[in-house]
A and B are shown apart, each in its own frame.
Chain A
Amino acid sequence: MTKYLIRRFIQLVVVAFIISVLVFLLVHLLPGDPSVTILGPNDTAQNRTILLHQLGLNKPLWNQYTIWLTAVFHGNLGQSYLNHESVTHILATGAPIDIELIVLSQIVAFAVAIPLALVTSRRPNRPLDNVASTGTFGLLAMPPFVIAPIMVAVFAVGLHWFPATGYVPFTKDPAANLHDMVLPALAITAGSIAVYYRLLRSDLISTLQEDFITMARSKGLSNRRIMLRHAFRPSTFSLLAAAGVNIGALLAGTFIVEWLFAISGLGYSLVVSVQQRDYLVVQGISLVVAIAYVFLQFVVDFLFTVVDPRVIRE
């Protein structure tokens, strides 16, 4: 098991390294001139050259990369060209918001999807299962930019249950913070519920046809125990993989709800800095998000070893 995880970790480091190159190239090879961002379009060519020299942007690309990477290892991701806020500070203030959104939405998603799948998979194609399957199809067809405005219209503007915009840090006022986060979290949870439910249901249905389930029945175990202790765990492999991909997509992928609810998480900062051509911020956020994504896959790999003891052997 340790051997397996070490191997995965080495892979992680290699992939992280390649990703740092990709992020660097992504920002540096794209058309657009940072001097235009900083000095505006009407400055002289001489001033531009001086600025590029100051920023080190006239050096060869590989040299710029090593300088950047060295700085990254020292925790220095540079600063915004526009307001000179340090990128690490932007990350430090933004990341907790994304993490909170993701954690809340995923808790809701699992809390809905898992019990629902456990109940409906026992009797597929019965009314309850049909309702749940159709319902989750509906959720799958409601991306955040469709569902969030509707939720705002109904629950914030219409019923005044929740605020339409705003964010209070959790450390300041936990109750107000959670109150603010309900709508954004629910808006992104819809798709997760649908994906998790459908995968778990179909895997449970095939697990329930396995011999070892009949075997468990022949031991006289209750249906409840069979579902929870025998069928559930071997049915979670696809769910786990899907959760890894899905949560990965939500890292900075929460920008729609952040945008709509005016919450300045990483996704929001990313979109704003992209629109303003704020290169170093884009670079810093992309790098951190990408590394987090890869690390998440590592965590998923680790969880596979917990869920399925056979993985270690391979």
Chain B
Amino acid sequence: MIGRRGTKGAKPVFEFRDIGDPTEPLLVVDDLHTSFRTGRGTVRAVDGVSLTVKAGTTLGIVGESGSGKTVLSRSIMGLLPTRDVIKSGTVHFAGHDLTALEPAQLRQVWGAELSMIFQDPMTALNPVKRIGRQITESLRLHLGMNRAEADATAVELLRSVGIPSPEDRVRWYPFQLSGGMRQRVMIAIALACAPRLVMADEPTTGLDVTVQAQILDLLGELQRERHMAVILVTHDLGVVANRADEIVVMYAGRVVERAPTHTLFANTHMPYTRALMDSIPRLSDPSGVRLQAIAGRPPDLIHPPEGCRFAPRCAYAQDKCRESDPPLRTAGSPDHLFACWFPLVHGTSTAPPAPSSGNGSSSAPPPTSAADTAIDPGAEVQSP
């Protein structure tokens, strides 16, 4: 149960279901759309995204900058403003539709049951507040602790995120800490009230490579201890490869592929996901091997291209791809969704051999007959 102890007046206090069954989803996002009205037109930043997160598991959301992943995470939280923002779809969290909650009710969820770790620890901590205060704030608000209890808990939290001599550090200001330390503080803040779901929006992008892994390991450790669900938003497939249970790949505001992590890596269907994987440097690569960059740019979200949005950059694009939009569907395994007319199967394209006009004619590998049989083009369509 959440609610403010010691609240003045009649604040609505409502119950969240305890989800004992780990197979039951904690978060269900259904057909979420978020658009911004701008001077140039309407930007469809999130365009019909559906996903689920089970209690205690990790979902990775991956995409280039501008793919809508940050807006998606804010939309799920309900942190976006109401003015000039058009939203539709539902977000069910532990049995409640967050999109239907009043702002005052949402504030009881934020920080307590659902919290967020921000990308840049340099800017996401208040520069003129002691870090201890920034932690105790939510403890006192959501858990109704008194000052002494909250102070003691803050010290324990700092200790649990691996900050040395936390008794002294609580009195420090953010500028006195290194980037990695600040990100640890931010994790402490996010975890203060033992939330059930933590949204981590590029939590390590601003950090040194060596610190990145430490922070992610710390997060994973705390997640197991506390049985939290985590949504890890990143542009780097490498980050989520061995940390996420399931991965959602986003492109131009849409989910283009969604699968359990091992399935996704074992049999990538969407050429875009493949391209993301190819851009991860590997130690096993012989030196001198060039990383594969994805040519072109993410599309304009005000006037997205006709058909598949990735088609203009896709090495395997056919005429059909430029004409009609591929739906999200399954083939073979039921939990592997993808939006592609000619999916890759074990690294090879199912596109017809005739080279299409324009791009990709030389680089597209010839399809194999095995691929044709593995994918049933008439597979069940999941969402319109």
Contact = CB atoms under 8 A, between A and B. Distances in A.
B35 interface: no
A310 interface: yes
A313 B79 contact: no
Contact of B175 (A216, A219, A313): A313
B137 A219 contact: yes
A162 B110 CA distance: 53
Interface string A202-216: 000000001110111
Contacts of B126: 212, 215-216, 230, 234
A211 B123 contact: yes
A205 to B, nearest CB: 14
Nearest to A212: B126
B124 A211 contact: yes
Contacts of B189: 215, 219
* Interface footprint category on B: 20 to 34
B111 interface: yes
A211 B202 CA distance: 13
B82 to A, nearest CB: 11
Contact of B141 (A212, A219, A307, A310): A219
Given A211-B118, A212-B123, A309-B173, A218 B128 contact: no
A212 B110 contact: no
B124 A230 contact: no
A215 B123 CA distance: 10
Interface in B97-149: 106-112, 115-116, 118-120, 123-129, 137-138, 141-142
Given A212-B123, A215-B118, A221-B137, 11 more contacts: A211-B119, A218-B79, A219-B110, A219-B189, A220-B106, A220-B111, A222-B107, A233-B128, A309-B173, A309-B175, A310-B128
Contacts of A234: 126-128
Q: Nearest 6 A-B pairs (CB), nearest first?
A: A220-B110, A220-B111, A219-B111, A211-B123, A211-B124, A218-B116
A310 B127 contact: yes
Interface in A133-158: none
* Interface footprint category on A: 20 to 34
Interface string B61-78: 000000000000000010
B77 A218 contact: yes
Nearest to B77: A218
Nearest to B83: A123
Contacts of A215: 116, 118, 124-126, 186, 189
B125 A212 contact: yes
B128 A217 contact: no
Contacts of B137: 219, 221, 229
Contacts of A309: 128, 173, 175
Contacts of B129: 229-230
A214 B118 contact: yes
A211 B116 CA distance: 12
Contacts of A310: 127-128, 173, 175
Given A211-B124, A230-B129, A217 B118 contact: no
Contacts of B111: 218-221
A85 interface: no
Interface string B137-169: 110011000000000000000000000000000
A215 B107 CA distance: 12
